[in-house]
């Protein structure tokens, strides 16, 4: 779990280096830390990092709103 | 809605692409994005090059050029054409129909049917369906299906949602009766509640173009566009496609009593590589079976993207081989449509440049 979070934060910080994603944030998308193209880049990076393919129907803003949301989403695939 | 056709076939496909090529990097400075971020977008979405027309070129110019090529090279005869269908979102005029203009240009016989159909991303499949229906008539033996879209003038150069992907093009598909017992399976669905997801707000009767509709305004994501420009709510389109297309493919394969592996290629509309890769993964086929090379090579030419994909990937090979294809288009409308069809021993299947 902890290592999953660390890997996700590393990827997020590479996509938007101007923000610190390890800080608690209410909603990455609503505050403008991630836009829809960042989400595409994030999904591509997560797919590659974890050797998974996140289902297209799961690529919804609410699944990328916080670090916890992203962890919960990934658990669906990584735990399989 | 499921549809089935018998004894109809495609006998040739000619794709017309503008010579003018624009690189993603040429326009990167237009977007309210860092260079680094733009390059990430390019990589994730598969953008690279696109073909767009020179200013003033219209849909009928591309169609006339292609038809002229077929007539001059004696590939088809004018007098054999019983119907001319043009599927386009960019007609030359509001009236008359552009298909009539093309008929008049070539002085084709009067004893024929011309019609324009306003459809986009699913326009190839809807045009084929209309062609097959016309071929159900005793007096119609050869239909020329034209697909043409010149959307580049309708896209804001400062809109990174749409501008990197939009290309222009036209295709000419010859559709005829088939003496063999061929079967074609189709599925079409529509949802007009999503009509504003992909739209050009101004320029029609509801909101005529004016100085006011031409004012560029910035959206939440830093894109600049006016009401005269194409608006695409990309995230909604993406989710609609991922939700609706895979079950449609499953259902049509079941109707045709085919397994996924029995399809040689899934030739789909190509908005971006990311969307297609996700569709391939969800449907459960290899990404090699669903070519996604066209959007980065020529751009997304809306209803023309499926014939471009066929012509570019298996063009010459269709002259001497048989391919079982699953076609699928999805987008403006909202409309989504799929078809399973054999392509065998075509008379021609190639791309020419305008």
Tell me the average confidence (pLDDT) per consecutive run of 10 residues in chain B, 354 residues long: 96 98 92 82 90 97 98 97 98 97 98 98 98 97 98 94 94 94 95 96 96 93 92 91 97 97 97 94 95 94 96 96 97 97 96 98
- What's the pLDDT at B153? 96
- What's the pLDDT at A80? 61
Residues from chain A that touch B243, judged by Cβ atoms under 8 A, are: 56-57
Instruction: Provide residues of A within 8 Å CB-CB of chain B.
Output: 15, 35-37, 40-41, 43-44, 53, 55-57, 59-61
- What's the pLDDT at B258? 97
Helices (H), chain A: 2-15, 36-50, 67-78
| ipTM confidence score | 0.86
Residues from chain A that touch B278, judged by Cβ atoms under 8 A, are: 53, 55-56, 59
Concatenate the DSSP letters of all residues of A6-20 into one string: HHHHHHHHHHSTTS-
Q: Which chain A residue lies closest to B275 (C-alpha atoms)?
A: A56
Cβ <8 Å between B278 and A59: yes
- Rounded CA-CA distance B301/B279 in Å is 19
Average pLDDT over every residue of A49-77: 92
DSSP tag of B194: G
How many CB atoms are located within 10 Å of the residue B258 CB?
A: 15
Number of structural domains in chain A: 1
Q: Residue A9 has which token pair?
A: 């934060």
Check pLDDT > 90 for residue A78. no
- What's the pLDDT at B288? 94
Helix (H) or strand (E) holding B180: none
- Rounded CA-CA distance B203/B163 in Å is 19
B242 touches chain A (CB under 8 A): yes
- What's the pLDDT at B29? 87
Bigger pLDDT: B12 or A5?
B12
Number of structural domains in chain B: 1
How far does CA A39 lie from the centroid of its chain? 7
Write the CA distances from B214 to B202, B203, B227, integer angstroms.
9, 10, 6
DSSP tag of B76: S
DSSP tag of B116: E
Phi, psi (rounded to 5 degrees) for B47: -80, 150
Cβ <8 Å between A56 and B242: yes
- State which residues form the domain around A9: 2-78
Residues from chain B that touch A37, judged by Cβ atoms under 8 A, are: 37, 40-41, 44-45, 160
Q: Residue B162 has which token pair?
A: 């749409």
Distance from CA of B341 to the nearest CA of A (A): 26
DSSP tag of B341: E
- Rounded CA-CA distance B343/B175 in Å is 11
Concatenate the DSSP letters of all residues of B252-312 into one string: HHHHTT--GGG-SEEEE--S-HHHHHHHHHHHT--GGGS---HHHHT-B-GGGHHHHHHHH
Helix (H) or strand (E) holding B338: strand B335-344
- State which residues form the domain around B276: 1-354
Q: Sorting pLDDT into bands at 50, 70 and 90, what band is A1? A: low
Q: Give the CATH number for residue B119.
A: 3.40.47.10
Cβ <8 Å between A61 and B235: yes
Residues from chain B that touch A35, judged by Cβ atoms under 8 A, are: 221
Q: Give the CATH number for residue A26.
A: 1.10.1200.10
B34 touches chain A (CB under 8 A): no
Check pLDDT > 80 for residue A2. no
- What's the pLDDT at B318? 97
């Amino acid at each position: 779990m902890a290592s999953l979070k660390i890997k996700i934060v590393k990827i997020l910080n590479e996509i938007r280096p101007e923000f610190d994603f390890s800080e608690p944030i209410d909603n990455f998308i609503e505050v403008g830390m991630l836009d829809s193209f960042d989400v595409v880049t994030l999904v591509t990076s997560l797919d590659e990092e974890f050797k998974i393919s996140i289902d297209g129907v799961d690529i919804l803003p609410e699944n990328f709103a916080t670090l916890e949301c992203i962890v919960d989403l990934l658990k669906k695939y990584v735990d399989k | 809605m499921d549809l089935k056709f018998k004894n109809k076939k495609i006998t040739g496909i000619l794709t017309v692409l503008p010579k003018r090529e624009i690189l993603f990097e040429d326009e990167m400075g237009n977007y309210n994005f860092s260079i680094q971020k733009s390059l990430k977008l390019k990589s994730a979405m598969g953008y690279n090059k696109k073909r767009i027309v020179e200013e003033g070129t219209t849909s009928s110019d591309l169609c006339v050029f292609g038809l002229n090529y077929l007539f001059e090279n004696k590939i088809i005869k004018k007098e054999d054409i019983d119907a001319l269908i043009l599927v386009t979102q960019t007609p030359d005029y509001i009236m008359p129909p552009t298909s009539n203009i093309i008929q008049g240009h070539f002085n084709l016989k009067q004893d024929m049917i011309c019609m324009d159909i306003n459809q986009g991303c699913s326009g190839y499949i809807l045009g084929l369906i209309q062609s097959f229906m016309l071929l159900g008539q005793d007096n119609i033996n050869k239909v020329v299906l034209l697909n043409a879209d010149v959307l580049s003038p309708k896209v804001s150069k400062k809109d990174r949602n749409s501008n990197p992907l939009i290309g222009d093009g036209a295709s000419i598909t010859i559709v005829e009766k088939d003496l063999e017992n061929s079967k074609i399976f189709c599925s079409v669905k529509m949802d007009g509640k999503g009509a504003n997801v992909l739209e050009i707000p101004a320029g029609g009767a509801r909101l005529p173009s004016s100085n006011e509709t031409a004012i560029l305004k910035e959206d939440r994501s830093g894109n600049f566009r006016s009401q005269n420009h194409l608006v695409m709510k990309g995230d909604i389109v993406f989710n609609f496609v991922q939700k609706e297309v895979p079950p449609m493919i499953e259902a049509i394969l079941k109707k045709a009593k085919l397994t996924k592996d029995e399809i040689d290629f899934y030739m789909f509309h190509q908005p971006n590589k990311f969307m297609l890769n996700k569709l391939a993964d969800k449907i459960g086929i290899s990404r090699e079976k669903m070519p996604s090379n066209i959007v980065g090579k020529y751009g997304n030419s809306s209803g023309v993207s499926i014939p471009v994909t066929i012509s570019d990937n298996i063009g010459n090979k269709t002259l001497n081989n048989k391919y079982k294809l699953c076609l699928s288009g999805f987008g403006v409308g909202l409309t989504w449509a799929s078809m399973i069809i054999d392509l065998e021993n075509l008379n021609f299947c190639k791309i020419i440049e305008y």
